[in-house]
Amino acid sequence: MVTTTDERNTPDERMAQDERKMHDERIVPDETTVPMLPCVSADETLAFWRALGFEVTWEQRKPYLYLAFRWSGFELHYGAATAGLDPTAENTGGCLVMVGAVAPYHAAFVAAMRKTYGKVLAKGLPRITRYRPGASRFSIVDPSGNSIVFIRRDEPEGLEYGGSKRLTGLAKVLDNARILREFKTDDRAAFRALNSGLRRHGDAATAVERATALAALIELSIALDEPDRVPEWGSRLREIPLSGSDREQVERAVADPATLSGWLADEA
């Protein structure tokens, strides 16, 4: 009987050999991560993602729920949610989708919503958040309250949540409101911040800063179903003289410049 070298080694020696072999095997960076999200309603989840153009790659109801979707280069998978989960709390779960540019994704999903639903789903569940030109992210909240956040890969690492320390006055309020709107998706808090900030700092602010704050308040009043406030903000905005470049800057501050139609003064 022939005895190999490995067989003559002690258990400790063989373990050391195995560890050396493992260290010699390099990890190849070819991983793929697929989010597994909780699903409250299979029918609503299937209908929503199909409406947005996703392919259903797996649909299983028994013996347990499992759904899988694919769109472009990423996938979303779902399993059954725990009993009693409340989607309206919107703390269910979610994932990040890192992309080169977020605007084309937002445009594609908005177009799909308009085609299927006849409008953009901007409130309640499911919905898509607004996208302001130049912003680095937006979110889709599915019927189960999961947030799928699309983020630009080169999003600045130095984002200061809650207002930049380098800014003062109304400029700082505007920056804080931007964070509340685009990152925390809290329109009500952004509205309050802008409303009080404009009262406190409006007199010392530049024309563009005042106009930007009023434009944002117009957009937020509409989003919050308080259109009665729009004429108030709009009439004040119309009184501010703006140059052509100033107008462009103010229009870029809102997701849909059409909401400012009739409220911007002629070029100064």
255-268 pLDDT, tens digit per residue, is 888 899 889 877 65
Do 126 and 77 share a domain, yes or no?
yes
* Residue 73 maps to a domain: yes
Query: Domain for residue 25, yes or no?
Result: no
Question: What is the CB neighbour count within 10 angstroms for residue 127?
Answer: 16
User: Quick check: is 268 in a domain?
Assistant: no
Instruction: Report yes or no on 123 lying in a domain.
Output: yes
Could you check whether the bond before residue 87 is cis, i.e. omega within 30 degrees of 0? no
Q: Say whether both 144 and 188 belong to one domain.
A: no
> What pLDDT shows up at residue 164?
66
Q: What is the mean pLDDT of residues 218-235?
A: 92
Tokens at residue 149, please?
A: 């956040």
**Which of 186, 232, 185 shows the shortest CA–CA distance to 213?**
232
Band (220; pLDDT cuts 50, 70, 90): very high
**Does a structural domain hold residue 81?**
yes
Residues 91, 145: one domain?
Answer: yes
Nearest alpha carbon to residue 171 among 191, 197, 196: 197
Specify whether 239 is located in the same domain as 190. Answer: yes
**pLDDT recorded at residue 105:** 97
Tens digits of per-residue pLDDT, 115-130? 999 999 988 899 999 8
Q: What is the span of the domain harbouring residue 236?
A: 169-260
**pLDDT of 218 above 90:** yes
User: Does residue 202 share a domain with residue 95?
Assistant: no
Between these two residues, 218 and 27, which has the higher pLDDT value? Answer: 218
CATH number at residue 97: 3.10.180.10
- The 10s digit of each residue's pLDDT in 86-99 is 999 998 999 999 99
Residue 52 sits in the same domain as residue 134: yes
Do 135 and 242 sit in the same domain of this protein? no
Total residue length of the chain: 268
Amino acid making up residue 193:
A
Q: Would you place residue 8 in the very low, low, confident or very high pLDDT band (cuts 50, 70, 90)?
A: low
30 in any annotated domain = no
Residue 266 is assigned to a structural domain of this protein: no
Last residue within a domain, chosen from 117, 152, 187: 152
User: Between these two residues, 91 and 163, which has the higher pLDDT value?
Assistant: 91
Number of domains in the chain: 2
pLDDT band at 155 (very low <50, low <70, confident <90, very high): confident
Judge whether 159 lies within some domain: no
| pLDDT per residue as tens digits for the range 49-74 | 999 999 999 999 999 999 999 999 99
Instruction: Answer whether residue 5 shows pLDDT above 60.
Output: no
